[in-house]
Chains A and B, each alone.
Chain A
């Protein structure tokens, strides 16, 4: 069980659904949901020594700042965050190009399709354990 999960998604229903699945599975102690990338970035303790979220579930297609913009903002901190924070893309997109693009970001540990289900959660665990 991880201690903290961020959900970043502009779709309220998607947040509701994802949170519900995580809660039902008892995946994390704490679930934080953000409807925009900027909100999530504002909460992310990049410079302070406060604990980071273990997992971020990131939607791609969002207005103003997309999932990609969020990842680009983290670029300068990649080295510091690597190993401490795992990003999993959670998108409704079934476009292959999106999956390819995500591999350019070392923080991204996996690419998941909505809706989040138990199988996806198992994948997240495996990915995290595999590294540990």
Chain B
């Protein structure tokens, strides 16, 4: 701010001189002439005195500035000069006042008009202080306000342009109509990485990535046609990286011609990359949500669906597009007043996540739902656990069955080591889980006489996944034996590997005893039935044969002459037949006697050697006849607790058989040998007789009325009776024989009576 007082002070020092008008001789240059020119000329002329005060002001002041000349006379000129211009002007005035300069073109300055407006004046001041006619400083002023205004405006636009062009943070550059980069700002240099020197030679297309060229050239051509346009492009940075630009081309038009194309571009690389990143992240998020096994959806604050994954869409059987922005409660009214809705409201209010299971009768489904709050609403993820719960329930029931069933249940690992047994197993066997865990069932259950090879085979089968079922004797903890029906089922995992074995161990002791009883009954019935068949056979053959003969003979005899030889023979035959009939009847009686007596037969202590001697004695005459011999190798203590008559009958039958079927080639020798084995007695009766082909006869050997020798002797009852009697006293009989090599019958008496 210039010091106005100081100027005032300085002004007072000036002494302005009055203009002295001398008239021209040729043009009658009268003072009036000059005065008129000065007064009425368009140019403003003023004269200042030595103090810088107006001494004279031409009339044009009134038109130019609105003052009347007399208004200004005597006032300091600097008063009306713009304070900013005053110091400069004062300096110039000093130069004139002190004779440093004779004439000065003053720099333009602002002068205040009467209406208060500032006018720019261009003045030339001439010192005429020495001129006695003037004695002042004459100043010619021209109003250059409009010129100055234009100049100011031009400067201003230039500043704007410069600011816009050079100081723009965006890329600004000018392209010639040939596409060369004519000028560019620092941003271009910074973002493109090229120096200014690189540009003038280059075509802008050299910087644009090939895939963006078409679009970029189109935009440039549009600009050349006078149309500005905005587009996206991408250039290659000096270092090879990409730069995304959002560019606007503006044609520079002067007088209808395009001079150049101005380009303003924004580096959108970050936005672009950020955009891509956001997109990628969104995709990633989408992928995550899609890959979730759980259904997932989001509700906005107005309970409208704002997101959902495919699982969710599939669960509802609707498309996501269809669901979006629909209100969940309107779409699915059955959710209203559910725990789900209640929890939704709660989570929205408390902003605390919540998880719960709920059954939805409408869709017959149990869902495990997780509600989480988020900025724009609620996230819901859910899993259908209906099947899972059903499986759990089934498992619960199964485990209930397994633990409460009356069958013993054992679960082992694939090594057959016990992992679990149920209560019933413990109740039946006496073993608790603690006692047997880790053991193999066969180690403590199986009977010791089980074949290890069979056990190995069973294990092999189980390892192959073959289920087994077996009835076996099992040990109880207290040493008792029980019969168990054991079913072993291998349990394979998804890969087909055996993981576990389940044993169902059922106590079937009672059933087994019943079975044994039943077997005995069946056997008894079978024997009874066999007896009946035998009886039927006897009746139809052996009893009927003599009867048929009797009938035949009696009818024939009627027709024969009683005095003839034939008649006599017939009568003899009649008698023979009657005897045979009697024999059969007595045989039947013997059989029936053994049968009916059976176990009730009186048992007594029988000395085998005594009975043998008796038998040999009774058959002595037959032995004598055939020249046979009997050797008895029996001991004193060969005692049997049995029916004496049976023992006698058995020995008698076997010895007499031996005599009957002696060999024709050698003398008969019969040996009786006894062997004691534990508490049983084994007696063999060996002969060197004609023997038998056992392959042929064995099936019928001990059957009733089966004979293996033709000829008159033998009716086929002896061995049958022997067998029956042996069975009755609890013994077995076996036979060895070869034709012409003799026969050995071996009797096993189970109930020998040693030491009794």
Contact = CB atoms under 8 A, between A and B. Distances in A.
Looking at chain A's contact residues, the main secondary structure is: loop
Interface in A23-81: 24, 35-36, 61-64
A65 to B, nearest CB: 9
A115 B540 contact: no
Given A17-B573, A94-B540, A113 B548 contact: yes
Interface residues of A, number: 27
Contacts of A35: 710
Given A13-B577, A16-B570, A20-B570, 7 more contacts: A21-B552, A63-B708, A92-B548, A98-B540, A115-B548, A115-B549, A117-B555
B556 A21 contact: yes
A16 B576 CA distance: 12
B396 interface: no
Nearest to B554: A115
B468 interface: no
B388 to A, nearest CB: 70
Kindly list the 10 A-B residue pairs having the minimum CB-CB distance in the complex, ordered from nearest.
A115-B552, A63-B707, A114-B548, A92-B545, A95-B540, A17-B552, A92-B548, A92-B544, A13-B573, A93-B540
B621 interface: no
Contacts of B569: 16
Contacts of B544: 92-94, 114
A131 to B, nearest CB: 27
Given A63-B710, A92-B545, A114 B552 contact: yes
B133 interface: no
A20 B566 contact: yes
Contacts of A102: none
B559 interface: yes
A64 B716 CA distance: 12
B709 A64 contact: yes
Contact of B555 (A10, A11, A95, A115): A115
A11 B552 contact: no
A63 B712 CA distance: 11
A10 B556 contact: no
B511 interface: no
Contacts of A14: 545, 548-549, 552
A17 B577 CA distance: 12
Interface in B497-550: 536-537, 539-541, 544-545, 547-549
B553 interface: yes
A95 B541 CA distance: 8
B645 interface: no
Contact of B556 (A20, A61, A62): A20
B592 interface: no
A115 B710 CA distance: 22
B577 to A, nearest CB: 6
A114 B541 contact: no
**Residue of A13, A113, A114, A117 with highest tally of chain B CB at under 10 A:** A13
B694 to A, nearest CB: 15
A116 B553 CA distance: 10
Nearest to B716: A63
Of the listed residues A91, A92, A98, A117, the one surrounded by the most CB atoms of chain B closer than 10 A to its CB is: A92
B466 interface: no
B630 to A, nearest CB: 27
B551 interface: yes
B710 A17 contact: no
Contacts of B573: 13, 16-17
Nearest to B556: A20
Contacts of B707: 63-64
A5 to B, nearest CB: 17
A63 to B, nearest CB: 4
Contacts of B716: 63
A13 B549 contact: yes
Interface string A77-113: 0000000000000011111001000000000000001
B540 to A, nearest CB: 4
Contacts of A116: 552
Nearest to A65: B710
B718 to A, nearest CB: 13
A117 B553 CA distance: 11
A64 B710 contact: yes
A16 B567 CA distance: 12
Nearest to A115: B552
Nearest to B706: A63
Contact of A11 (B539, B540, B549): B549
Contacts of A36: 710
B545 A61 contact: yes
Contacts of B539: 94
Contacts of A64: 707-710
Contacts of B548: 14, 92, 113-115
A1 to B, nearest CB: 20
B402 to A, nearest CB: 56
Contacts of A117: 552, 555
A62 B541 CA distance: 10
Contact of A93 (B541, B549, B566, B706): B541
A61 B548 CA distance: 14
